[in-house]
Amino acid sequence: MIKLAGRKNKPTIIRCIRDYFLSLQTQLKHKTMKVLLINGSPRENGNTMLALKEVAQTLNSEGIETEIISIGKQAVQGCIACGWCGRTTPRCTFRDELYNKVWRVVKDGIDGMVIGSPVYYGGPNGSLCALLDRVFYSLGSELRFKPGASVVVCRRGGASAAFDRLNKYFTILNMPIVSSQYWNMAYGQTPGQVAQDEEGMQTMRTLGRNMAWMIRKLNVSEEGHPQLESPVRTNFIR
């Protein structure tokens, strides 16, 4: 480290600081940042997709690439707690196409994740949760400290409960949650109806801008990530 002191060195200090921040800006400008969005609705072009596209378009306008993966209509394998992904490789023992698609995108490198779901009985789509259980358990080390956000769409009620359920995936993996001007929910029943929810769509755009802002801040931070302690696992049996 070069020690600079005294009035004569003041211009030099200012130049060094300016050059440093210009260098960071240049690095950030040339770094490709990407957010993965998962559409948890079996309706690939339904209201959940419209809400996610509003977020994605805002991220694109902020210079961040996006990719949307839909879970589709096929049955989704859930986690069977075999522990295979922890023993040998950070990959689920079930290599179905949907999981592999998400696995490849995450391993290639993402800077954030958005999960969207319709509301089923006050919770997210069960097929989506089956996928997320496997993704978050096997790819936890890749997702740690990456900003995450959830988006829910419903006809009338249950949105806040589903929203809370999805956020739990982020809060167990040291992932900062991106907020918006309201809880990330929009309303609509028939396909396309959610576009009429003006406040909901504005909430999605605000979410996109907030995520872009957080990703940029994390990418230029000098501090890096917090130092994690070695995990301590206990149960409640004496």
pLDDT digits (tens, 9 = 90+) for 6-23: 555 666 766 666 665 565
The mean pLDDT value for 64-81 works out to 96
Retrieve residue 59's tokens. 């991220």
Please indicate, yes or no, if residue 101 is contained in any of the structural domains.
yes
CATH (domain of 118): 3.40.50.360
What pLDDT was estimated at residue 210?
98
The mean pLDDT value for 56-78 works out to 97
What pLDDT was estimated at residue 58?
98
Residues facing 70 on adjacent strands: 39
Sheet with 112-118, strands from edge to edge, namely 65-70, 34-39, 112-118, 148-154, 185-187
Res. 3: pLDDT tops 60:
no
Q: How far is CA 197 from CA 38, 94, 153, in A?
A: 21, 39, 11
> pLDDT tens digits for 97-124?
999 999 999 999 999 999 999 999 999 9
Residues facing 116 on adjacent strands: 39, 151
The mean pLDDT value for 27-44 works out to 85
Res. 90: pLDDT tops 60:
yes
Please indicate, yes or no, if residue 172 is contained in any of the structural domains.
yes
Please indicate, yes or no, if residue 123 is contained in any of the structural domains.
yes
Please indicate, yes or no, if residue 129 is contained in any of the structural domains.
yes
Task: Give CA 48 to chain center in angstroms.
Answer: 16
The mean pLDDT value for 193-202 works out to 98
What pLDDT was estimated at residue 237?
73
Please indicate, yes or no, if residue 10 is contained in any of the structural domains.
no
Residues spanned by the domain of 162:
32-220
What pLDDT was estimated at residue 231?
87
C-alpha–C-alpha distance, residues 89 and 113, integer Å:
22
Please indicate, yes or no, if residue 169 is contained in any of the structural domains.
yes
In sequence order, what are the residues at sequence separation of 6 or more whose Cβ sits closer than 8 angstroms to the Cβ of residue 74? Answer: 98
C-alpha–C-alpha distance, residues 132 and 118, integer Å:
15
Q: How many domains does the chain have?
A: 1
The mean pLDDT value for 216-226 works out to 84
Please indicate, yes or no, if residue 230 is contained in any of the structural domains.
no
